[in-house]
Each structure stands twice: as structure tokens, then as C-alpha cells.
Amino acid sequence: MLSLRIMKKQIFLGIILLLLFACNLAYGSLSIPLKSVIEILFGSFEGKQTWAQIVLQSRLPQAVTALLAGSSLAISGLLLQTLFKNPLAGPSILGISDGANLGVAIAMIYFSVGSYVTTILSAFAGAAVVLIIIIYFSKKVQNNVMFLIIGIMMGYLASSVISILNYHASADKVHQYVMWGMGDFSGVSLEKLPYFASFAIAGLILSLLLIKPLNALLLGETYAANLGVKIKSTRILILLCTGLLTATATAFCGPISFIGLAVPHIARLTLGSSNHKQLVPVTILAGGCVALLCNLLTVVPGSNSVLPLNAITPIIGAPIIIYVIVNRKNIQYFN
Amino acid sequence: MKQQITLSAFNLGIGYRLRGGKEKVIHPNLNLQLYSGQVTCLLGMNGAGKSTLLRTLCRFQPSLSGEIEIMGKPINLFTQSELSLTVGVVLTEKTNAGGITVFELVSLGRHPHTGFFGQLKEEDYKIISASLDAVGITHKSDTYISELSDGERQKVMIAKVLAQECPIIVLDEPTAFLDVTSRIEIMILLRKLAKEQNKSILLSTHDLDLAIQMGDCLWLQSRDNPMKRGVPEDLILDNSLESFFRKDGIVFDRTTGKLSSPLSKIPVGVEGDFNTSYWAGNALTREGYLPSTPSADYTSIKCVSPTEIEIKYANGTVGHACSIEEMLKCLTNRIL
């Protein structure tokens, strides 16, 4: 009975995801009639070639990117929350996104690196450095709030190093970097998409393989060890997975705030469970939904301009986090 | 059922390895045996190293010296999954499991038995529901952990350990945060499991009364002395407990098995109805008198019923009290 209810919720989320995906294809800063969009997708369109190009070369990869980046960030948030036993952890709040950001900044400004794989690798290196420092502090600071503040400090440190780098860099490189740093899903062209997608999907699959140890970690590391979980290697795998997902999303879409922090809460609240067997798939779906929704909302109706993504994500994310904090006494997974 | 040694330690040194090769030794030399079908209570003051010992026996931290054997095999030869099938733990660690149900938590106990994805088979379901039954929490299967009382949470953790199907169960202060009735409930439950399922149960506790009442065997751990072990009554009768708890201002009373302030020398005779005189004696001890057999040399109390207490003063006069409270008032007014 329980599984039927959960299955219904998953199917419901799946339908919402498809609808949002379709909206992302149909709706953009240039209005294209729905009928034409459908014809373009099915290859039977014989009208303006620019329309076909917009739908296939711009909107389609952008929607796929939003879907995967949203899922990636949401899962890395969930992994961090479970690993650190802290429901308010997330890739941006712990400074991991900023670390990835810093990695890209160093690569772009100092080494003039532009290729996707090296961008990902430098983002991953940056994220990994912050993760290692964070783990070091997680052993020293047991208090959840203090730990989050250390994460926020890490983020500030990374940002200040980025500012210093920018100060010394040439104007065009800074411009290139700043454009990247605005954060949006349109940066991934159809040619880049396979690279992005394969890294993101690899990370998401890895997260599915971690479901069993993640559940054991709900009891804490000592209990998990007693249940046969190899703590050290599990922790490394979780961090690899988090680093990979955050780095991939950040390298291609820029630093995106709040999705990693807020979506696991949306998933847990709709699901009513912290059992990772259901929570991981639902977080992947919900992450995709939220990112697609945010992407839709960046389009200003009746104008050609597009808002920066990071102007939208807090509008959706921040109220959820505030709601969760205010109601934490009544939310099961907080107690 | 035959009682077998399931866990033993020889010349075990426990403590912590510090940086630079130094060691902080908590106890240099422990020799222990744990038997199946028994509840063993580990007693010791704060700082005696109870948790360190338990952690070492479960291999959560390395020993400094000596040997630990589990089921006759050195503990270091166990793989982690073998160990997880042999020793199950209930800890004081705060969990993050508020958002899963009782059933889901107990099913985590099946982890060492299930495959890569943790898929539960029919047999696993059977064992989980049997474990829920054994601790009497089946009716809460679908309840969130966050909605349970402390006592219920402890029961769920014990059910988890049962689902793990380990012959040895180690519990770190399982009764620490519980109210009086839950404490007794948990201890009765553990006894039942030891007897019915022939488990070796080792628990640390500060509850002296409960340990004496329910423990098959006590381990008395203190920093500077060798570990004492024995049946509680033997340890009381041979004065081990008395010397173990010796401290300024505190005395272990061999007759009652309780810790109290040092016994006074002012004797007061007590006789009569068993129940009333027992509790009259309890009240007298608290007030600093020494309950004794009645004599004409000192004040005596004759308990007829809980509401009828006769006080014969040393000078021959007789007073009446209708409650222990009144009796105590009469005594303080007249004797001192």
C-alpha cells in the first residue's frame, strides 16, 4: 500500500517534469506558435528556418541542460545533507560551488583554458579542495550551525580569491569569466551537450548505487560501520559523486544557488520519507522540475530579454528553506 | 541452553593512540569473558572507560595491547561484514532517522544480510516482523521514528539489533535517558532475549539497582584496579561492591544493595507489619537513624498498620502516629 502511494507520487512528479520540459520547448523570449514547435520536433515543419533552429539548437539543449543540472545539484545537496547529518547543508552553502567556481576562474584567467573537459576538471579540482577542507572541519566542529558557518566562510574565501584574480586579469578574460559566472542553462550548445550529459548522468547513476549505505548513514557513522558499511570508502564515493555533480553543473552552467539546498527538502516533504530508496529518484525528478521551472521564469513575458538564473532560484528556494526552518519541530526528518 | 564463552579478552589494554606514537592508557590490563544466554552489566564511574571498553570490544577503536577473541577467533581476523554479523550495537549516538518509519529502521538491521541494493526478500520480512514482535513494537511499524518516545526509540534500536541476528549484542547505556518504567521494561526485554534467544548481552549502565536486580553477571570497571566480575549477590556478599563504590560521604549498604549516606549510630528499633516496617526503616535511614531490633535502651517503633504506628520512647512514654511523616516529626521532636 505504502509503495503504491509512493509510486503514484513518482509518476505525478514524472508527469510534471514532462509538462515543464514541454513548456520549456514551447515558450521562450521569441514567441513561436505551439503548432509550429510540435511540427519542428517531429521534423515536419516547413516554415522559418530560424524557428526550427531556435527550438532545436537552443531550447532543446537548454531544457535538457536544465533538467540534468537541476538533478545534479539536487542530488549533491541530498548527499551532503545525509553525509554531514545536517539538513541545511548544500553545495552552495558549504562553499563547494564557490570552490568549483574558483577552479574555473583559475583555469580561464591564468591558463586561458576553454575546452569543456578541462573546465570540468578544474571545477572538479576546486570543488574537491573545498570538500576536503570541509571534511576536515566536520571532524572538529560537531555543532550543525557552526559547521554551516564554516562552509559559508569557505565560500567567502573562494569568492575573495576570485575577486583578487579578476583584479589582476585582463579585461576580456574577466568579461568571459563574468558572463560564465552569471549562471544559466543556455551555455550548453548541442555540441557540448553530450559531454555535459555524460558527466551528469555518470554522477546520477553513481548516486543510485549509493542508496544502501546512505540509508545506513541515517543512523550515524558508528551504527553504519556496525551494519557492515565501509565508512571510509563510502565517504570517498559520496564526496566523489558530490564533487562530480557540483563541478559538472557549475562548469557548464555557472554557480547556481539554492537548488542543491532546497530540492532535497521539497523531495522529502512531498515523499514524507527520508528513505533514500525513494528519496534519491524523487530528488532527481524534483531537481529537474525545479530547474525547468526556474528556466521558464527567467523569460520575461512580452520582452526579448532574459533574467539571470540566479535571480530566480532564490525566489523559489529561500521561502522553502525558511518554511522548513520555521516548521522544523513538526517536520519528521528534523527530529 | 548451554552457556558458552562468546567473547573473551586477554591482557587487553584500552585507550587512545595520540599523535607522535604516545598512548593515553585508560586501562592497561583487562581479562574478560562474555557468556551466551547472560545479561552482563558493566558498571563504573564516569571516566572509568566503560565506553572505551565497549568501543574496543566492537572494534570501533583499536586496542593498545592484548587479544580479543570473538567466537574463538581473534577480532582482527574478522572482515567488517563478518563482524557486522556477529556483534550488534545499540549506541547513545544521536541518529538522523526521524524521517523513516519504525519498520524501515529495523530493516536497516538486515543490511549485513542483503545484497548490493539492499533489496529485502521474504525471509528478511519475516525476521524483521519477528524482531518487531520480540520487542513489542509491531503496532508502531508505520510510525515515524520522530514520533516515538525515548523508550520506544530504544526498543526500535534493539529490534534493529535483533534483525541483525548477531549472537553478541553490546549496548552503551541503553537506559540512560529513560523514565523509571521504561528502564525496567528495557532490562526485562534484554533478559528475555538473552534467555529465549541465547544471546550474549553486554550493557553499560549507571543503574546500580537495576544491574543488581536484572544482571546475570556484573563487571566492575575502575581505572586503577583489575576488573571484578561475578554474580551481583556474590559481589555484594564479598564486599566487592562496597569497596568499589567507596567514596567520602557515600556508603554501599550490603543489606539493601543501595548507595546511601554513611549509616548513623543512633539506633531506633523497628518491628511489626512487614511492609510498614520496611518503609519505616527506609525513612529512618534517610533521616540518619540506624534501624535495629527493638530494645528498652532506645526508642522503638511498632508498626501495626500503615496508619497506626506506635512510638515507644526510651523514657517509657508512648506516642502515636498515623503516617510515616508524623512518625518522623515525633522522633525529631523527642530524641534530639
Listed in sequence order, the residues at least 6 apart from A40 whose beta carbon sits closer than 8 Å to its beta carbon are A51, A52, A55, A56
Topology (CATH level 3) of domain B266-335:
Rossmann fold (3.40.50)
Alpha-carbon distance values, A183 to A62, A114, A300, B42, B242 (Å): 13, 17, 17, 59, 72
pLDDT at B156: 94
Interface test with A, best of B56, B84, B108 (most A CBs within 10 A): B108
Query: What confidence category does residue A190 fall into, taking pLDDT thresholds of 50, 70 and 90?
Result: confident
Query: What confidence category does residue A2 fall into, taking pLDDT thresholds of 50, 70 and 90?
Result: low
Composition of chain A by helix, strand, coil, percent to 5: 75, 0, 20
CA distance B257 to A59: 80
pLDDT at A114: 64
Could you tell me the residue ranges of all domains in chain B?
Answer: 266-335
% of residues, chain A, pLDDT over 90? 47
C-alpha distance from B174 to closest chain A C-alpha (Å): 15
Listed in sequence order, the residues at least 6 apart from A192 whose beta carbon sits closer than 8 Å to its beta carbon are A61, A116, A252
State the average pLDDT over residues A280-291: 96
Render the burial of B196-222: b for 16+ CB within 10 Å, e for the rest.
Answer: ebbbbbbbbbebbebbbebbbbbbbbb
Q: pLDDT per residue over A114-153, tens digit each?
A: 677 788 888 889 998 998 898 888 888 878 888 889 999 9
> Is residue A327 within 8 angstroms of chain B, CB to CB?
no
Evaluated on CA atoms A207, A209, A210, A215, the torsion sign reads positive
The residue type at A74:
A
> Is residue A212 within 8 angstroms of chain B, CB to CB?
yes
> Is residue B119 within 8 angstroms of chain A, CB to CB?
no
Number of domains in chain A: 1
State the average pLDDT over residues A277-296: 95
> Is residue B102 within 8 angstroms of chain A, CB to CB?
no
State the average pLDDT over residues A315-323: 94
Alpha helices in chain B (DSSP H): 50-57, 80-84, 102-108, 122-135, 150-163, 180-197, 208-214, 232-237, 240-244, 274-286, 324-335
Alpha-carbon distance values, B253 to A169, B46, B245, B258, B336 (Å): 81, 21, 10, 5, 25
Mean pLDDT of chain A, nearest integer: 88
Least confident of A152-166, A314-328, B113-127, B280-294: B280-294
C-alpha distance from A209 to closest chain B C-alpha (Å): 7
Q: Are B96 and A220 in contact (CB under 8 A)?
A: yes
Q: Does A273 sit within 8 Å of B98, measured CB to CB?
A: no
State the average pLDDT over residues A290-312: 87
Phi and psi angles of residue B299, each rounded to the nearest 5 degrees, phi first: -60, 140
Q: pLDDT per residue over A229-243, tens digit each?
A: 999 899 889 988 999
Q: Which chain A residues touch B70 with a CB distance below 8 Å?
A: none
> Is residue A227 within 8 angstroms of chain B, CB to CB?
yes
Grid coordinates standing for A238?
559520496
Using the structure block, give the residue that is written with the C-alpha cell 577552479.
Answer: A103
ipTM value for the complex: 0.86
> Is residue A232 within 8 angstroms of chain B, CB to CB?
no
Q: pLDDT per residue over B35-64, tens digit each?
A: 999 999 999 888 888 999 999 999 999 999
pLDDT at B315: 82
pLDDT at B22: 86
Q: Which of B17-26, B74-83, B225-234 has the highest mean pLDDT?
A: B74-83
Q: pLDDT per residue over B267-288, tens digit each?
A: 888 988 888 988 998 888 888 8
Interface test with A, best of B89, B96, B105 (most A CBs within 10 A): B96
pLDDT at B336: 47
Q: The domain spanning residue A87 has which CATH number?
A: 1.10.3470.10
Q: Which chain B residue shows the shortest CA-CA distance from A81?
A: B96
Query: What confidence category does residue B93 fall into, taking pLDDT thresholds of 50, 70 and 90?
Result: confident
Angle at A205 (CA atoms; ends A201, A211), nearest 5 degrees: 150
Q: At what angle do helices A60-83 and A2-26 cross, to 10 degrees?
A: 140
Q: pLDDT per residue over B157-212, tens digit each?
A: 999 999 999 999 999 999 888 888 888 989 999 999 999 999 999 999 988 888 99
> Is residue B105 within 8 angstroms of chain A, CB to CB?
yes
Q: Which chain B residues touch A225 with a CB distance below 8 Å?
A: 60, 80
A194 exposure class (CB count in 10 Å sphere: 0-12, 13-18, 19+):
exposed
**Residue B14 β-bridge partners:** B27
Is the pLDDT at A1 greater than 60? The verdict is no
**What domain range includes position A79?**
2-334
Query: What confidence category does residue A109 fall into, taking pLDDT thresholds of 50, 70 and 90?
Result: confident
> Is residue B97 within 8 angstroms of chain A, CB to CB?
yes
> Is residue A219 within 8 angstroms of chain B, CB to CB?
yes
Q: Does B95 sit within 8 Å of A332, measured CB to CB?
A: no
C-alpha distance from B4 to closest chain A C-alpha (Å): 23
CA distance B317 to A145: 70
C-alpha distance from A34 to closest chain B C-alpha (Å): 43
CA distance B256 to B276: 16
Q: Which chain A residues touch B106 with a CB distance below 8 Å?
A: none
Q: Which chain B residues touch A230 with a CB distance below 8 Å?
A: 80
